[in-house]
Amino acid sequence: MSTASNPEQLTSEQRESLLYRLAQDYRDLNGTEVEVWPHTPSSIEFARIVNVGRPVLFRNTPNMKDLPALTRWTDDYLGSIMGDRKVSVAITPNGQVLVSFDIPTGLSTEHHFVFAGEQTRCTLCQVAHVTLSNRTLK
């Protein structure tokens, strides 16, 4: 199929065909199986799994109801920790997300930087600022 140099010149049928082909190529390259882990991953293993961005099933993990985050991370708790602080969110051209924020810890402040995915180059990041407050968390 020949494509126009301007995507806006494509017909809806051509766009649909290209999207179907892209999805098929993705499945061919990445498979459709869900990986199953027989144990809870270490922090490093989990980071690598998240970086790949594919679904994974963990077996023989601790009982979910015993995880502290499920009871502690309420809207009120997160709101009390973050308050009205601004959180910088950057989205890279390939869709990866970078988040930067500070959390006060008594006399000092911890700076947190979360990078969902690993890139050797991050160019042309689109930056948006998001303000978290109690009302936006609920």
3-state secondary structure of 127: strand
What pLDDT sits at residue 8?
Answer: 74
Regarding pTM above 0.85, the answer is no
Each residue's pLDDT tens digit, 6-41 = 667 888 888 888 888 887 887 777 777 788 888 888
Q: Is the pLDDT confidence value at 126 over 60?
A: no
The alpha carbon torsion through 40, 46, 52, 55 (nearest 10 deg) reads: 40
Which residue type, as a one-letter code, is found at position 19?
Answer: L
Each residue's pLDDT tens digit, 61-110 = 776 666 677 678 788 887 888 777 776 666 666 666 666 666 666 676 66
Q: Where are the domains of the chain?
A: 68-138
What pLDDT sits at residue 121?
Answer: 35
- Where does the pLDDT of residue 138 fall: very low under 50, low under 70, confident under 90, or very high at 90 and above? very low
Q: How far apart are CA 127 and CA 136, in angstroms?
A: 19
Q: How far apart are CA 66 and CA 38, in angstroms?
A: 19
Q: What is the mean pLDDT of residues 43-52?
A: 82
What pLDDT sits at residue 93?
Answer: 65
Strands 56-58 and 35-37: parallel
The single residue listed with the structure tokens 């990866």 is 96
Bigger pLDDT: 116 or 49? 49
Taking phi over 0 as left and psi of -120 to 50 as alpha, with beta for the rest, 76 belongs to alpha
What pLDDT sits at residue 90?
Answer: 64
Q: How far apart are CA 17 and CA 7, in angstroms?
A: 13
